[in-house]
């Protein structure tokens, strides 16, 4: 288990180093940001069995809250980033506390409704969100914290490194969450909520806490997203973005926190890379979903266990041949 985790972290680190060499730096930065959103969504989808179609609301609220501070104040960078996370977490508590009381399609519809609610607030509250035009003027302040020396984050690779560090720390924190008793309670509740309640846990409280944590990290990702192109576009809170996030989680795989990282990579390659090569790139979305559903029900991450199983069978067959 630890070996798998270590291998995953090494591969993720290698990916972070290689990405800006293979992709435009802005696309590589987006990849990291969506990897964080997808991983935080997996706390709900993979660990809690809660198929939320409201993740874009959390992502967007964080982006607008932090982006508003970055556009209108001279605060050092980390304060708006944390503020965006906290505002999203507070909204996530309200959203989660209501949604977790329903299951299945009703849960999905409630999260979808919350997403649309946030979308129309963002659409109509032009003074704060910029409405349909998006929130303009988001700055990338040089200082991370007051008193620290300035780094010019308008240099793309500097900003990429900063995003990599923040996303890396958030991802490690998410790994800690899923290893904690809370992670086990969420898994137990996903498996059998009534039984988990009989063991003495308030399942709704645990799931609401998962929403809050997921919202916090999605909110941070939202603030970083606003800084990539100096604008928080209204599309970021559209339900389609929630759909894309679910796509990333499911295609990458829900059984491991590393799955969504793979899913986000596939998404960015399809959306930002192949779209420049082929105008009909959305067809690839459908093809990928069909391929995963037909052949890799647990997502692309299941390829690892398939390959390991295949290698083990090969070794066993060789051993039998040797004995014969």
Residues in contact with another protein by CB under 8 A are 181, 184-185, 187-188, 190-192, 194-203
Task: Quote the least distance from Cβ 202 to another protein, whole Å.
Answer: 5
- Cβ at position 136, least distance to another protein in Å: 45
> Minimum CB separation from another protein for residue 39, in Å?
18
- Nearest CB to another protein, comparing residues 1 and 321: 1
Nearer Cβ to another protein (201/247): 201
C-beta of 181 vs 286, nearer to another protein: 181
| Residue 210 φ/ψ region, left for φ over 0, alpha for ψ in the -120 to 50 degree band, beta for the rest | alpha
Nearer to another protein, 201 or 258 (CB): 201
Of 124 and 192, CB closest to another protein: 192
CB of 44 to another protein, least distance (A): 15
Q: How far is the CB of 178 from another protein (least distance, A)?
A: 12
């Amino acid at each position: 288990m630890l070996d798998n985790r270590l291998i995953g972290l090494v591969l993720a680190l290698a990916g972070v180093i290689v990405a800006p060499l293979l992709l435009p730096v802005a696309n590589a930065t987006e990849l990291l940001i969506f990897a964080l959103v997808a991983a935080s969504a997996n706390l709900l989808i993979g660990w809690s069995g809660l198929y939320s179609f409201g993740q874009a609301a959390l992502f967007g609220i964080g982006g607008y809250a932090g982006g508003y501070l970055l556009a209108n104040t001279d605060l050092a960078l980390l304060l708006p980033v944390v503020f965006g996370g906290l505002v999203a977490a507070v909204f996530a508590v309200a959203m989660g506390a209501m949604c977790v009381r329903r299951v299945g399609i009703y849960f999905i519809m409630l999260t979808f409704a919350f997403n649309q609610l946030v979308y129309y607030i963002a659409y109509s509250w032009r003074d704060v969100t910029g409405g349909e035009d998006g929130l303009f003027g988001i700055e990338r302040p040089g200082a991370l914290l007051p008193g620290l020396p300035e780094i010019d984050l308008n240099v793309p690779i500097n900003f990429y490194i900063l995003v990599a560090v923040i996303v890396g720390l958030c991802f490690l924190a998410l790994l800690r969450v899923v290893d904690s008793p809370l992670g086990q309670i969420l898994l137990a509740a996903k498996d059998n909520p009534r039984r988990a309640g009989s063991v003495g846990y308030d399942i709704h409280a645990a799931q609401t806490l998962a929403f809050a944590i997921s919202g916090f990290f999605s909110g941070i990702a939202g603030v970083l997203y606003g800084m990539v192109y100096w604008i928080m576009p209204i599309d970021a809170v559209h339900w389609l973005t929630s759909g894309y996030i679910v796509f990333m989680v499911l295609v990458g795989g829900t059984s491991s926190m590393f799955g969504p990282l793979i899913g986000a990579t596939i998404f960015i390659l399809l959306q930002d890379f192949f779209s420049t090569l082929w105008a009909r790139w959305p067809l690839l979305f459908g093809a990928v979903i069909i391929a995963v559903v037909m052949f890799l029900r647990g997502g692309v991450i299941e390829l690892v266990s398939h390959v390991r199983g295949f290698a083990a069978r090969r070794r066993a067959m060789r051993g039998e041949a040797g004995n014969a």
